[in-house]
C-alpha cells in the first residue's frame, strides 16, 4: 500500500510539473486569429492529458525499475498475480469515457473553428506550382457614375483585422495546402475546377506580417512556395483595395512592374542580377542568351514574348523546363504582356 501512496504523489507532482511546462512554454507560434484561440484552448486540454498519462506510466515504470529490481543475492520469482478482472474493467472503461468526452470537445471546437460569418470577405485563392495568387472583388465607380465589379489580382494576401475572410481555393495542377502557422488552420487546395473548390475561414485578429506556407508536398520547389500575408486595419484595407482596383492607368513600365509582382513573376525572376529559380531580368533585354541545347539567341522582344506565353520553348542553360506556369497566355491580356515586356526592357 505504501508503494501506491508514494507513486500516487509522484504522479501528481510529475503531472503538475509537466502540465505547467507544456501549457506555459512557447511551443506554439503567435496567436493571430480567432480560430487560433479555440485551437490553442484545445491544445491546452491535450497538454494536460499528455502530462497525466505520460507521468502515470513513466512513474510506475521507473518506480518499478528502482524499487522492484532484483537485489544482490535475491533468489526466486516475483509475486504471482495473473489477472484482476475488476481492475481491468476499470482501466478499460475510464479511457473509453475520457475518449468520448474528448471526442465531444473535439467536435464542438471543430464547429467553433468553422463558424460562418455572414459578413465575411471572400477572396479567391489560386495555387499553382509554386506560386500563390489571390483575387479580390472590388467595387469601382466608373466615369459614367455606375458601380461595376472588378477583380484585383495580387501575390500578397492583404486582410482586414477582425473580419472573417472566406478563402475559396483552387489549384491549377497538383494538390497544395494553404497554411499560415499563426492562424493555426490549414486546408488542402485541390485541382479539378469548380467541383473541387474548398473553403477556409479565418478571422485574423492581430495586425502584422505573416507567411502562407504550402503544407502539401507539391514537387520540386514545394519548400519555397510562400506568399506574404498582411493583416491591416479595415480602413487601410479599403484604401489598398481601392488603389489596386480598376485598370492600370500609369505608364507601361509602372504597370508592367505591377503585373510582375501581382502575378508572382518576381518570386522566381530577380530584379537584382541574382539567379533565382529562373534567370534574372536585370540586363536581360538585348543580351545574348545560351539555351539548354547549346544554341545562342538574342533576347529581343519576340524572345521575351515567347518566353512568357510558352516558357518551355526556349530554356536558358542551367535552368529547368516545366517550372514556369504555362498558362500566362490565358491569364494575362495581351496588353498586360506588352507592359511586362516594357518593364523588363527598362531593367538595364
Give CA 61 to chain center in angstroms. Answer: 41
Q: Which of residues 37-66 bind another protein (CB under 8 A)?
A: 38-39, 42-43, 46, 49-50, 53-54, 57-58, 60-61, 64-65
Q: Nearer to another protein by C-beta: 107 or 148?
A: 107
Helix or strand run (H / E) with residue 290: strand 288-290
Q: Pick from 121, 175, 206, 291: which binds another protein (CB under 8 A)?
A: 175
CB nearer another protein, residue 86 or residue 287: 86
Longest dimension (CA), the chain: 103
Residue 173 or residue 236: which is nearer to another protein going by CB? 173
Site for another protein in 270-299 (CB under 8 A): none
Exposed (0-12), middle (13-18) or buried (19+): which is 267, by Cβ within 10 Å? buried
For the CB of residue 338, give the shortest distance to another protein in the complex, in Å.
Answer: 30
Q: Which is nearer to another protein, 172 or 242 (CB)?
A: 172
Residue with cell 502575378: 263
Please give the residues from 295 up to 334 whose contact with another protein meets the rule CB under 8 A.
Answer: 320
**How is residue 197 written as a grid cell?**
473548390
Among 135, 161, 163, 181, binds another protein (CB under 8 A): 181
Name 295's Cβ contacts closer than 8 Å, sequence gap at least 6. Answer: none
Sign of torsion over alpha carbons 253, 256, 258, 264: negative
Spatial distance between the Cα atoms of 64 and 181, rounded to a whole number of angstroms: 41
C-beta of 79 vs 287, nearer to another protein: 79
C-alpha–C-alpha distance, residues 266 and 49, integer Å: 47
**Rounded CA separation 209/191 (Å):** 28
Map the footprint of another protein across residues 219-278, applying CB under 8 A. Answer: 219-224, 226
List the interface residues with another protein, window 104-123 (CB under 8 A): 105-107, 109-110, 112-113
Among 196, 157, 155, which residue's Cα sits nearest to residue 175? 196
Residue closer to another protein (CB basis): 211 or 273: 211
Helices 334-346 and 301-309: crossing angle, nearest 10°?
130
Choice between 70 and 287, CB closer to another protein:
70
Q: Which of 37, 120, 174, 242 is close enough to bind another protein by CB under 8 A?
A: 174
Q: Is 16 among the residues that bind another protein (CB under 8 A)?
A: no
Q: x/- string (CB under 8 A) for another protein, residues 63-102?
A: -xx--xxx---x-xxxxxxxxx--xx--xx--xx--xx-x
Amino acid at each position: 500500500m505504501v508503494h501506491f501512496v508514494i507513486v500516487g504523489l509522484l504522479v501528481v507532482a510529475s503531472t503538475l510539473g509537466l502540465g505547467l511546462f507544456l501549457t506555459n512554454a512557447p511551443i506554439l507560434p503567435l496567436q493571430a486569429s480567432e480560430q487560433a484561440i479555440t485551437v490553442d484552448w484545445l491544445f491546452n486540454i491535450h497538454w494536460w492529458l499528455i502530462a497525466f498519462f505520460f507521468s502515470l506510466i513513466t512513474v510506475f515504470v521507473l518506480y518499478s525499475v528502482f524499487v522492484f529490481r532484483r537485489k544482490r543475492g535475491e533468489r526466486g520469482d516475483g509475486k504471482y498475480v495473473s489477472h484482476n478482472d475488476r481492475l481491468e474493467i476499470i482501466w478499460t472503461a475510464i479511457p473509453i469515457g475520457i475518449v468520448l468526452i474528448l471526442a465531444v470537445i473535439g467536435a464542438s471546437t471543430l464547429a467553433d473553428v468553422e463558424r460562418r460569418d455572414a459578413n465575411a470577405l471572400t477572396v479567391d485563392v489560386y495555387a499553382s506550382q509554386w506560386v500563390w495568387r489571390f483575387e479580390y472583388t472590388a467595387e469601382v465607380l466608373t466615369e459614367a457614375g455606375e458601380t461595376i465589379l472588378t477583380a484585383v489580382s495580387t501575390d500578397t494576401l492583404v486582410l482586414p483585422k477582425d473580419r472573417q475572410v472566406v478563402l475559396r481555393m483552387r489549384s491549377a495542377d497538383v494538390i497544395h495546402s494553404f497554411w499560415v502557422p499563426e492562424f493555426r488552420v490549414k486546408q488542402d487546395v485541390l485541382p479539378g475546377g469548380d467541383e473541387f473548390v474548398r473553403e477556409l475561414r479565418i478571422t485574423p485578429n492581430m495586425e502584422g506580417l505573416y507567411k502562407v506556407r504550402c503544407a502539401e508536398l507539391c514537387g520540386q520547389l514545394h519548400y519555397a512556395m510562400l506568399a506574404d500575408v498582411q493583416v491591416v486595419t479595415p480602413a487601410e484595407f479599403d484604401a489598398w483595395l481601392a488603389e489596386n482596383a480598376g485598370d492600370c492607368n500609369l505608364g507601361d513600365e509602372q504597370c508592367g512592374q505591377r503585373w510582375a509582382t501581382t502575378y508572382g513573376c518576381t518570386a522566381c525572376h530577380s530584379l537584382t542580377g541574382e539567379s533565382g529559380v529562373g534567370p534574372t531580368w536585370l540586363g536581360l533585354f538585348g543580351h545574348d542568351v545560351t539555351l539548354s541545347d547549346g544554341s545562342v539567341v538574342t533576347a529581343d522582344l519576340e524572345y521575351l514574348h515567347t518566353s512568357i506565353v510558352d516558357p518551355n520553348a526556349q530554356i536558358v542553360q542551367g535552368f529547368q523546363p516545366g517550372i514556369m506556369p504555362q498558362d500566362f497566355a490565358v491569364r494575362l491580356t495581351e496588353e498586360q504582356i506588352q507592359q511586362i515586356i516594357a518593364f523588363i526592357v527598362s531593367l538595364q
